[in-house]
Amino acid sequence: MKPQSGTYPLQPPQHVTAPEPTVSFDKRGCGPLLRKHPSLQGKTARTIRSQIGNGLFKSKFATTVRWQGLPIWECRVNEQSVGSVRAAYVVNGSAATVLYLSATLQKRAFAAELERFLKRGQR
């Protein structure tokens, strides 16, 4: 059986890529750790872009408190110069804002520290 004229050759599907998420850092919550470890900024941005691109598969809600109406997520970032840190961030479309970085790894202690930080900022 012969294929009908005009149906071949098949064109491969065109893949539409989403824009690369932008990652910004809150100066007040991230500045102290980023000043000590400048390479942490790039590693944190790559980790969060990966989390957004993969559906936040290793991120958890950091706290029940919201920031500008958005839920706050947290994930662990492993950086050779500092070891492991936790990053609290919000996602709004294709933009993420890292609100807080801390070397505190225990989830409960990190959440308490983050909530104190958020309350201080609401003055």
pLDDT tens for 71-84 read 999 999 998 888 89
22 Cα distance to chain centroid: 9
Average pLDDT in the 41-55 region? Answer: 93
Do the Cβ atoms of 77 and 50 come closer than 8 Å? no
- What is residue 71's predicted lDDT score, i.e. its pLDDT? 96
Average pLDDT value over all residues in the chain: 87
Domain boundaries along the sequence of the chain: 22-120
- From the CB of residue 53, how many other CB atoms can be counted at a distance below 10 Å? 12
Do the Cβ atoms of 86 and 76 come closer than 8 Å? yes
| Interval 10-38: pLDDT, tens | 565 565 566 788 999 999 999 999 999 99
Q: How far apart are CA 113 and CA 6, in angstroms?
A: 65
pLDDT score of 62 more than 80: yes
Hey, what are 35's tokens?
Answer: 């000043």
Q: How big is the chain by its Cα radius of gyration, in Å?
A: 20
- What is residue 4's predicted lDDT score, i.e. its pLDDT? 56
User: Given this structure, which CATH class describes domain 22-120?
Assistant: alpha beta
pLDDT score of 115 more than 60: yes
- What is residue 12's predicted lDDT score, i.e. its pLDDT? 59
